[in-house]
Amino acid sequence: MDPWSAGAVLVAVVTIAPIVAVIWFALNPTENIWPHLLSTTLPRYMGNTLVMMLGTGALTAVVGTVTAWLVVMYRFPGRAWLQWALLMPLAVPAYVGAYALVDFLDYAGPVQTGLRATFGWADSRDYWFPQIRTRGAAILVIGAALTPYVYLLARAAFREQSGAGFEVARALGAGPVARFWRVGLPLARPAIVAGTAVVMMETVNDFGTVDYFAVQTLTTGIFSVWRQGGNLGGAAQIACVILAVIVMLVGLERATRRSARFAGSARNVRPVTPAQLSGPGAWVATAVCALPVLVGFVLPVAVLGSHALSAAQWTAPGLAQALVRTLVVCGTASAIAVLAGVFMVYGTRLSGHRLPKLLLPVSAIGYAAPGAVLALGILVPMAAFDNRLADLILAVTGTDPGLLLTGSAGVLVLAYVVRFFAISQGAADAALGRVPASLPMAARSLGRSPGAVLRAVHLPLIRASVGSALLLTFVDAVKELPATLMLYNRETLSTRVYAKASLENLAEAAPAALVICAVGLCAVLLLARANR
């Protein structure tokens, strides 16, 4: 096998290995507590996870689809900026939104404080206020953060539809609601289902929000069984349940796309012409589109900003170190992920063997697997290797070096690379596919090696796509919480926010959270530019 094929296979093996390790631990536990889990906590974990998935999926599907339909089909006050502002909640991690919502609505927050001051109530016994830390609130927070996934895909699907179809429906007497249900929605259904499936997978991955709201899900179960109960096999078995749920979601999404077939005319495709809304209807449309932005972006940033006004919070001990670690670790991971993605895709295209081509789609499985699952599959094998390495050094030198890799930044970098490898791989595959085949063939005919062709021909042409993948990978790594908590024993921005907010110290958590949101805004601006 040539070096390019062997390298592609090696990259694929590295990305798949954590999942294989988790399955192995589940099938070979040192202490099998599966019957105990099945009869006690697992039904509760599974029930809460399913409710969270279905609730968040339904919420985001409705809000994302309706807002996308409004901004594509109608003109109303604020539409020009709302169609891009609806992407902004992506910049705010769900766990940050959870901290902000509780701070805003809790007993000591501005809402209840204002109510007591206005009506003269002395304490909570004088009035009723709904509980904040509930499963419903968790669904609302996660849904607010993830709605842009559905909105983005639904908006693209509505924009690609022909305006002639809607004009025919209008001529046949179909009103706005009928045109939505009978024409727009059926054609956009595959995109909406795809976005909803991504939302549901991200809901399964969430740890910070459900932990803060005390909702016991499968992901929190991994933390409880492994870190508190010390049972690796039981944690791996719960992780396998999560993997089964993810595989089911991916299969459902692909089956939906495969069963849906639509065709349109290749000529004279007339884009949709937005209709002008007037009167109360126009302002209702503005309010509907503004509400997700207010809940998912404006409220969290405003609450955090109010806590971060003091200069002392920005000079608090540990913040600068957490920022530097985050930049170094996430920057390194994103660079490695992008280089590995380009190498694997290019090597697979050069390879004449079937194995790299078979492994290419499988290598993206890490993006679907929650961070807690990947952490489980990385940390335990790495710890075993670390112990053997320490024993070898002790035997040779007589000095015990301790654990060199476990808990280090290197393990976290590996987790980020595996978790977000699909972003760089997908971007590289799409970008290399757009390069005309004649260009590398001409370079090869002039005696250039495959590596020289990649450097001289392909990389200059795919630079923009590679840069976008680098930024998106970096942003996702900065926001990742479960894998960071489980693998790294030093403070990063995400773990600092989690630790401070868990202690109800939102003032010290606010600066780090705002930095994370600012980094997320870079990805939002990139998405807005790419989807003009």
Unique residue bearing structure tokens 């930049």: 327
Which DSSP string do the residues of 400-437 spell out, in sequence order?
----SSTTSHHHHHHHHHHHHHHHHHHHHHHHHHTS-T
Q: Which tokens belong to 112?
A: 């209840």
SS3 410: helix
Structure confidence at residue 370 as a pLDDT band (50, 70, 90): confident
Looking at residue 229, its pLDDT comes to 80
Is the pLDDT at 465 greater than 90, yes or no?
Answer: no
What's the rounded mean pLDDT across residues 494-511? 90
Chain-centroid distance of CA 485 in Å reads: 16
> Which position has the higher pLDDT, 477 or 394?
477
Q: What is the pLDDT of residues 50-81, one digit of tens each?
A: 999 999 999 999 999 999 999 998 999 999 99
Q: What share of the chain is helix, strand, coil (3-state, %, to 5)?
A: 80, 0, 20
Short-list 409, 411, 419, 417, CA closest to 490: 409
Identity at 250, one-letter amino acid code = V
Task: Kindly report the backbone phi and psi dihedral angles of residue 69, in degrees, each rounded to the nearest multiple of 5, phi listed first.
Answer: -60, -45
Short-list 55, 23, 89, CA closest to 217: 55
Q: Considering only 160-169, 362-371, 518-527, which range has the smallest mean pLDDT?
A: 160-169
Chain-centroid distance of CA 413 in Å reads: 17
Q: Which tokens belong to 197?
A: 């499936």
User: 374, exposed or middle or buried, with CB in 10 Å at 0-12, 13-18, 19+?
Assistant: buried
Q: Which residues pair with 75 in a beta bridge?
A: 276
What domains lie within the chain, and their CATH numbers? 1-30+319-490 (1.10.3720.10)
Listed as own residue / partner, the contacts of 247-251 with beta carbons closer than 8 Å and 24 or more positions apart are 249/197, 249/200, 249/201, 249/368, 250/197, 250/201, 250/368
Q: Considering only 165-179, 367-381, 487-501, which range has the smallest mean pLDDT?
A: 165-179
Rounded distance between C-alpha atoms, residue 498 and residue 483, angstroms: 13
Is the pLDDT at 266 greater than 50, yes or no?
Answer: no
Q: Which tokens belong to 250?
A: 């991916």
Unique residue bearing structure tokens 């301790």: 402
Four-point Cα dihedral 232, 238, 240, 246, nearest 10: -140
Looking at residue 23, its pLDDT comes to 92
Is the pLDDT at 496 greater than 90, yes or no?
Answer: yes
Is the pLDDT at 480 greater than 80, yes or no?
Answer: yes
Q: Which tokens belong to 108?
A: 């000591």
Is the pLDDT at 330 greater than 90, yes or no?
Answer: yes
Rounded distance between C-alpha atoms, residue 336 and residue 171, angstroms: 56
Task: Kindly report the backbone phi and psi dihedral angles of residue 433, in degrees, each rounded to the nearest multiple of 5, phi listed first.
Answer: -70, -20
Identity at 401, one-letter amino acid code = P
Structure confidence at residue 284 as a pLDDT band (50, 70, 90): very high
Is the pLDDT at 309 greater than 50, yes or no?
Answer: yes
What's the rounded mean pLDDT across residues 493-498? 94
Please give the DSSP secondary-structure letter assigned to residue 225. I
Looking at residue 256, its pLDDT comes to 67
Q: What is the pLDDT of residues 190-215, one digit of tens each?
A: 888 888 988 998 999 899 999 999 99
Q: Which tokens belong to 383?
A: 């710890």
List the alpha helices (DSSP H) in 74-162: 79-85, 94-105, 110-119, 135-159
What's the rounded mean pLDDT across residues 444-458? 85
Is the pLDDT at 164 greater than 70, yes or no?
Answer: no
Structure confidence at residue 24 as a pLDDT band (50, 70, 90): very high
Rounded distance between C-alpha atoms, residue 463 and residue 472, angstroms: 14
> Which position has the higher pLDDT, 1 or 508?
508
Largest interatomic CA distance in the chain: 88
Q: Which residues pair with 275 in a beta bridge?
A: 74
Q: Considering only 274-288, 293-307, 351-365, which range has the smallest mean pLDDT?
A: 351-365
Is the pLDDT at 260 greater than 80, yes or no?
Answer: no
Q: What is the pLDDT of residues 109-158, one digit of tens each?
A: 899 999 999 998 988 888 889 889 999 999 999 999 999 999 988 988 88
pTM: 0.88
Looking at residue 262, its pLDDT comes to 52
